Amino acid sequence: LRACERAELYVKIVRENNIPFEERGPLQILMGEDFFILLHEVMFVPSLQNLADDEQLSWWLAKAHDYKILGTYAQTELTHGSNVRGLQTSATYDESMYDGEGGWNVHTPSLEGMKWWPGGLAKSCNCVILMARVVIKGVDYGPHPFFFQVRDFETHASLPGVELRDIGAKMGYNGMDNGGMRITNVKIPRRHLLGKYVQVSKEGVYTKVGNQKMLFGTMSYTRLKISTGAGLNLAKACTTAIRYSAVRRQFAMQRTQFGEDVSLKTEGEKPDDMDAIVKPAKRSEAQVLDYSSQQYLLFPQLALAFAMHFTSEAGTKSYDHYIAQFKAENFKGLPEMHVLTSTLKAVSTVLAADGMEQCRKSLGGHGFLNAAGIGPQYLNALPQATYEGDFVVLSIQVGMAVFKACGRKLMKGLTKDPNNPSLDYLFAADLKELKTPTAPSLAELQAGITDFDFLERCMEKRANFVHFSAAQKFQEAVKQHGSMNANAIDEVKIDMMRMTYAHSYVLYVKGFRAKLDALKEGPLHKVLVPLFELFCLTIMDSGYEKGGGFGEFAASGALPASPAAFAILRARVKVLLAQLRPNAVSLVDAWNVPDYLLNSCLGRYDGRVYEALYEQTLYEPLNKTDIATGYYQHLQYILHPERRESGAQIEPQTAKL
């Protein structure tokens, strides 16, 4: 109900302000949570735009833009999600239907072939882009997209032959009514097969039209949107965690950032100069944000959120550039866009989810309350790592593309590919150095640790080490298995996962650095520099939750493989944490996340955490009455077993708190 209420509000704002479809993105972010109308905007409409021919667009697009129809994307089935070729739902062509105009008999052949998961399918949407196998005269052409109506446009009742249901409560993300659908011999017109890339004539002749490569457009767009959203989710969690850590106090510790380590005064001592700078309360109990360990938990996540944000900005620019090229029939940049958006989607969603949980854990006990905000937001963000390509499945695509680039470098000696700029570092790799790496000396590390070129080179060197050593293993596997078959690919899947992380860290570092370069030497630059350095050192030191750490950097020769090198990194991390502390709250305030969107008693802007925690209990259903129903139904008989027999039980009263 709440999702429907919000959807109505969203549509009201769009209609009253005549917001064009392309400009609805910021409003979607301000909704704060995924629900059916957003899927309509992000999946249904773009799919229609990219897959329907002009005549079909004239039937459906304006209605979709104006919410006269509400749609979703129905691909996944009970037994097949990642493997789209395994889908069972079929659309069998019958040229005798519709007075000889031809039509499709759409059918779910088994329980396993039931559509399962599409968002909004259970109760909200009245039509879908349905992926179903095209079968014409006994020939199976594989899954294709159809426009398929599931509910009556007037009454909203499910149509005959269409069984719809909600698939059940989820860990989170329950604002979305993910649905299941079984279709029993439903007839639809021939022209409901989306026809931008495939046409079927009345006679049942199947023809491919247009350039099939454009098909990648929607997929890349959605992946980019998801990775951008992941960065914002992490930024929200950082905002709550850092603000609360500045409010929360535990134990006593003297702040030393002000230049002196003054011992705590005992009661009755006279105020001194320190009191002018640090409030007495601060001196008796420290803000937990002053503890280096708390900073070590949180500031790397803040750095990651900024890295994701800047890289998404750069990614969106690249996307716009390539889409313009594709529209002009130039598809040379297709592999670049594919690898870029797949890498960012795969890694950002996993790192953001892990980072959000890290932020939640740093909130102590109160972090476990829904009122803290991060827990429910984390659970809502979790499925981002799965839908639209799970991490492993995407890393296989990234890995294969990187192998191709390695091959061109090794076989053809290519030193640059203008159509693959994000892999410039791979083409520029020094092959001799890759074979016998020479690590920097400790002195070079000490000097380089604040040098952006050095830090960026470390990421690249490590990534090339991972890419080329995996490419070699893949070559051996292909020889062993006779071809580039599934078994050969399976031998390097673990490596492909690591390659995807390594490549993503290069992208993030470059994205972050490009922003710093654009800011030049201004005040913002100064504030962001330690964050950038911390981001790089976190990858090299302990690593983010996944895909980082000292080991690969040492093995690749990007860093000296010695305990002393590790100590240099760790010491520098500590310096950076202390540098960041005074600006930490301002850095999260800079995200400017409104309180309603943060939806957190702990992260609210005014810091009135404890009042908010108390106030939210007033909305708790269990607090509506002093004595809970459980007492009347069960507890009283535990405490007073005689009441069962005597019938002298106490009846519910409705006294409010």
Q: Which of 72, 228, 240, 294 touches ligand FAD by CB under 6 A?
A: 72
Stretch that binds ligand FAD, among 150-158, 187-195, 355-363, 380-388 (CB under 6 A): 380-388
User: What is the nearest approach in angstroms of ligand FAD to the Cβ of residue 15?
Assistant: 25
Stretch that binds ligand FAD, among 112-120, 146-154, 553-561, 613-621 (CB under 6 A): 112-120
Determine if 73 is a binding residue for ligand FAD (CB under 6 A): yes
Calculate the CA 544 to chain-centre distance: 16
User: What is the nearest approach in angstroms of ligand FAD to the Cβ of residue 384?
Assistant: 8
Amino acid at 647: G
| Nearest-10 crossing angle of helices 493-519, 452-481 | 160
Is 545 an annotated catalytic residue?
Answer: no
Stretch that binds ligand FAD, among 75-83, 316-324, 348-356, 497-505 (CB under 6 A): 75-83
Stretch that binds ligand FAD, among 77-85, 338-346, 429-437, 561-569 (CB under 6 A): 77-85
Stretch that binds ligand FAD, among 79-87, 148-156, 205-213, 319-327 (CB under 6 A): 79-87
Stretch that binds ligand FAD, among 197-205, 387-395, 454-462, 647-655 (CB under 6 A): 387-395
User: What is the nearest approach in angstroms of ligand FAD to the Cβ of residue 419?
Assistant: 27
User: What is the nearest approach in angstroms of ligand FAD to the Cβ of residue 192?
Assistant: 18
Q: Which of 71, 195, 217, 383 touches ligand FAD by CB under 6 A?
A: 383
User: What is the nearest approach in angstroms of ligand FAD to the Cβ of residue 169?
Assistant: 12
CA distances to 91, 238, 239 from 373, in Å: 45, 11, 11
When CB distances to ligand FAD are compared, the closest residue is 81
User: What is the nearest approach in angstroms of ligand FAD to the Cβ of residue 166?
Assistant: 13
Show the tokens assigned to 265.
């005064």
Catalytic residue, from 33, 336, 357, 388: name it: 388
Residues 25-44: x/- map of binding to ligand FAD (CB under 6 A)? --------------x-----
- Residue at token pair 């827990």: 375
Which residues within the stretch 390-409 sit at the binding site for ligand FAD (CB under 6 A)? 390, 392-393
User: What is the nearest approach in angstroms of ligand FAD to the Cβ of residue 422?
Assistant: 24
Determine if 81 is a binding residue for ligand FAD (CB under 6 A): yes
User: What is the nearest approach in angstroms of ligand FAD to the Cβ of residue 180?
Assistant: 11
- Alpha-carbon span 222 to 389, nearest angstrom: 11
Nearer to ligand FAD, 122 or 609 (CB): 122
Show the tokens assigned to 371.
């009122």
Which residues within the stretch 140-179 sit at the binding site for ligand FAD (CB under 6 A)? 173, 178
Q: Which of 47, 50, 56, 76 touches ligand FAD by CB under 6 A?
A: 76
Nearer to ligand FAD, 358 or 395 (CB): 395
CA distances to 251, 275, 280, 281, 473 from 272, in Å: 22, 6, 10, 14, 67
Helix (H), strand (E) at residue 532: helix 523-540
Nearer to ligand FAD, 87 or 537 (CB): 87
- Alpha-carbon span 253 to 100, nearest angstrom: 85
Determine if 353 is a binding residue for ligand FAD (CB under 6 A): no
269 DSSP 8-state letter: P
Please, are residues 99 and 106 in contact by the beta-carbon 8 Å criterion? no
CA distances to 102, 325, 611 from 28, in Å: 40, 27, 30
Nearer to ligand FAD, 39 or 286 (CB): 39
Give exposure, 327-337, as e/b (b: 16+ Cβ within 10 Å).
eeeebebbbbb
- Alpha-carbon span 587 to 577, nearest angstrom: 13
| Phi/psi-derived region of residue 18, left when phi > 0, alpha when psi is between -120 and 50, beta in every other case | left
Please, are residues 206 and 141 in contact by the beta-carbon 8 Å criterion? yes
User: What is the nearest approach in angstroms of ligand FAD to the Cβ of residue 458?
Assistant: 29
Site for ligand FAD (CB under 6 A): how many residues? Answer: 21
Q: Which of 113, 118, 543, 603 touches ligand FAD by CB under 6 A?
A: 118
Query: What contacts 584, CB < 8 A, 6 or more positions away?
Result: 242, 246, 289, 295, 298, 299, 302
Nearer to ligand FAD, 110 or 415 (CB): 110
- Alpha-carbon span 356 to 298, nearest angstrom: 10
DSSP collapsed to 3 states, 551-602? HHHHHCCCCCCCHHHHHHHHHHHHHHHHHHHHHHHHHHHCCCCCHHHHCCCC
Nearer to ligand FAD, 82 or 284 (CB): 82
- Alpha-carbon span 261 to 251, nearest angstrom: 16
Nearer to ligand FAD, 43 or 369 (CB): 43
Please, are residues 543 and 520 in contact by the beta-carbon 8 Å criterion? no
Determine if 180 is a binding residue for ligand FAD (CB under 6 A): no
Please, are residues 632 and 649 in contact by the beta-carbon 8 Å criterion? yes
Nearer to ligand FAD, 102 or 119 (CB): 119
- Alpha-carbon span 185 to 11, nearest angstrom: 34
Please, are residues 348 and 2 in contact by the beta-carbon 8 Å criterion? no
Stretch that binds ligand FAD, among 22-30, 73-81, 243-251, 603-611 (CB under 6 A): 73-81
Q: Which of 102, 119, 143, 180 touches ligand FAD by CB under 6 A?
A: 119
- Alpha-carbon span 350 to 378, nearest angstrom: 11
Which residues within the stretch 477-496 sit at the binding site for ligand FAD (CB under 6 A)? 493
Q: Which of 10, 44, 104, 117 touches ligand FAD by CB under 6 A?
A: 117
Determine if 253 is a binding residue for ligand FAD (CB under 6 A): no
- Alpha-carbon span 426 to 471, nearest angstrom: 12
633, with CB counted inside 10 A (0-12, 13-18, 19+), is exposed
Stretch that binds ligand FAD, among 71-79, 186-194, 400-408, 444-452 (CB under 6 A): 71-79
Q: Which of 197, 299, 319, 387 touches ligand FAD by CB under 6 A?
A: 387
User: What is the nearest approach in angstroms of ligand FAD to the Cβ of residue 389?
Assistant: 6
Nearer to ligand FAD, 493 or 644 (CB): 493
User: What is the nearest approach in angstroms of ligand FAD to the Cβ of residue 46?
Assistant: 13
> Which of 196, 483, 240, 460 is closest to 361 using CA atoms?
240
User: What is the nearest approach in angstroms of ligand FAD to the Cβ of residue 72?
Assistant: 6
- Alpha-carbon span 505 to 517, nearest angstrom: 18
Annotated catalytic residues are 388
Interface ranges with ligand FAD (CB under 6 A): 39, 72-76, 80-82, 117-119, 173, 178, 383, 386-387, 390, 392-393, 493
